[in-house]
Chains A and B, each alone.
Chain A
Amino acid sequence: MDFDDDIQLADIVKELSAVDDVSWGLYAFSRDRYREKVSEEDKLSLIKEAIAIGQEEARRISAEFGSSDPSEIARVLKLRIDSSAIQQQKGRIVFATFSYPDLITLMSEPISRALSSDEVRELISEEEIRNLMIGHEIYHVLEERRPALHTSDRKVVLWKFLGKEHTGTLGAPSEIAASSFTKTLNSSSFSPLILDIMLYWGYNREDSYNLYKEVIKFYKNGNCEKR
């Protein structure tokens, strides 16, 4: 179905809430710059592994710090949390950044724009959005500080010359694990990647709807294949 003005965000979100983590992983993989270099089989394997690592790390960190509050964990990890006003860039909306070694920046505009809509406010609170974002960035901090987390060093062969292989690092496993981490940490019932659609809605409903269609396509294809 093509986009029209009668489409409600609540209906989209309801449908997306049922989407499994692997389908969200495929959506995340579709943004990886080396996505064409990975077979579908390897993608699924990497996604499942990243999801498991994210979940395990969230449980470990909650147990170690005695808290699953992302702000509290950030405080213990001596991270600075800042906010910055940022506008939409064409075709791209930044939600949060992690600047090495210790600065998490949450972009205030996507949050405030999203929450200015009654539709979004009924679905999610500002605190929930912030916690999901902070949790996501905390995973990247942990990834940097704990080499045992292997999600940021998954290589793929880009090209070969005279028998020498040139490799590149996939970004998607790290992002998928970060989403899995913050989902588990925040005991969220849906994938944090749903924010891509919810927060985009405040800028461009049609683009947001197109993102939704992409996710649903991965979900339906996955169900057909019975992953």
Chain B
Amino acid sequence: MSIVIGIILIVSIILLAIYCIKGYNLMVGMAIMATLFTVLALIGNIFTPNASMAGQSIQDVLTYVYQTGPANWSSSILVYIFFGAFFGRVLIETGIASTLIRKTVELGGDRPGLTMTLLSIITAVIFTSMTGAGPVISIGIIVLPILLSLGISVPVALFSFMGSIMAGMHGNILLFNQFIAMFVSLRPEAAEYTYQMNFPFGITCFFIALVIVNIVANVALRKSKKVRTWAAVSSDAGQTNAPWYSWIAVILPVVGVMAFNIPIILGFLIASLYALITCGKIKGGFVNVTRMLQKQFTDGAIDTAPLIGFLLILAMFNNSAVYVAPYFQALFGNLIPDNPFVLCLVFGLISLLGYFRGPMSLVGCGAAILAIFLSAETVLPVAFLYPLFSCVTLTVQHLDMTQSWVAWGIGYTKVDTKQFMKIAIPTGYVISIICCLLVYFMRGSLVA
């Protein structure tokens, strides 16, 4: 029976991948999957007792999936996302993000390749602290027209921008908290694995991704044809440059966590306050200032609303994956390599399956695969598994059409999707393989 349910689960994951590829709503897809996993686990438990359901009533199981999942996720992660989104809004509204970009363009001058590379670096740095479709769009509508006005072709410009965001995400503190929460729900001791512990690995991946994205973008730039564009552009005349000393606000949250061990929410608040003060936005009396702060928080919440909806449902899916883990275990339990090098190599080689929210993506079917690993008899340490799972997801997910802001970028630039994917997929694959091998070199010794 366990084998049959295991096969049905695999088929359902394949169907989910097809569902994703066809571009249907992911939040609804994940809700269906969470329900399917739960129902299959409950049916399986009737025939063969399921160890993960031991001592639990049906109500307990339903509560764990539909209540505990989103509730725990909300209490541990949602707050980070809201405050991160608030900080993102502050960087945009103070003009710090756009000033950094304009100054970067001046630094690069007439050399499109150099300007593109510099913009890539600054974009990656900005997205070590920010995430969400709102901030990406706010930065994208500044960066992309600049790249296009330099005569850079649309696929190369979009790839450079999205690739830079992907690189930044490897050091992103919000995404670390989001992913580690998935580990904690399945193995509570994962809570001891902190952002600081992961930082040496994350920052190395950041540089690897940034270097490879820029090599590929610059090679593609040389091959592409120069384009001139006549476009009507809405006014930005009212936008002034943010003072130079305000620019460090971008990295303050990460610096605060790394250097002073400040809680990240406080880090976001301090950085936001610093940005608002240095840019002269704290003015006009108490009432006006509070109104402005309220607006930034509201706009930030709106920016991340679709993401939060999806992640709340994903939390249900993650918890349902706990109950079906024994069936995956029955199918694949003995297939998980215990040699760290082989495991890292296999992860790298099959990382392509992370595209379209496939089984190698933690924000897709990969949540179920994670459950298998965390419940496997071979106990692999979180300090090894977290980098392995996260580096693949962070790389492929942020170059994938199913990522909300990549989909936005494709629509915004009207790029030929195939042209974009022809650059993005192979590059993501190479970065994933290198990062997976890096896991072996940096963390392989932790596996007994």
CB within 8 Å of B: which residues of A? 30-31, 33-34, 37, 84, 86-87, 89-101, 133, 136-137, 140, 158-159, 166-169, 171, 175, 178, 195-197, 199-200, 204, 207, 210-211, 214
Contact = CB atoms under 8 A, between A and B. Distances in A.
Nearest to A192: B230
Contacts of B229: 94, 96-97
A168 B110 contact: yes
A95 B230 contact: yes
Given A89-B412, A168-B106, A211-B235, A99 B149 contact: no
Which 6 pairs show the lowest CB-CB distances between chains A and B? A196-B232, A91-B234, A168-B109, A94-B231, A100-B226, A98-B228
Interface string B142-159: 000110010000000000
Main secondary structure of the interface of A (DSSP, over half): mixed
Contacts of A96: 229-230
A34 B107 CA distance: 11
Interface string B400-414: 000000000001111
A199 B232 contact: yes
Contacts of B105: 33
B233 interface: yes
A87 B106 contact: no
Interface residues of B, number: 27
Given A196-B232, A214-B237, A166 B141 contact: no
B91 to A, nearest CB: 18
B110 A167 contact: yes
A99 B228 CA distance: 6
Contacts of B146: 33
Given A92-B231, A94-B231, A166-B109, 20 more contacts: A33-B149, A34-B106, A87-B411, A90-B137, A90-B412, A92-B141, A92-B232, A92-B233, A96-B230, A97-B229, A100-B227, A166-B107, A167-B110, A168-B106, A169-B110, A197-B232, A199-B232, A204-B234, A207-B234, A210-B234
B229 to A, nearest CB: 5
B225 interface: yes
Given A90-B412, A137-B230, A99 B107 contact: no
A204 B227 CA distance: 26
A33 B137 CA distance: 19
B102 interface: yes
A101 B422 CA distance: 24
B225 A100 contact: yes
A37 B106 CA distance: 10
B235 to A, nearest CB: 6
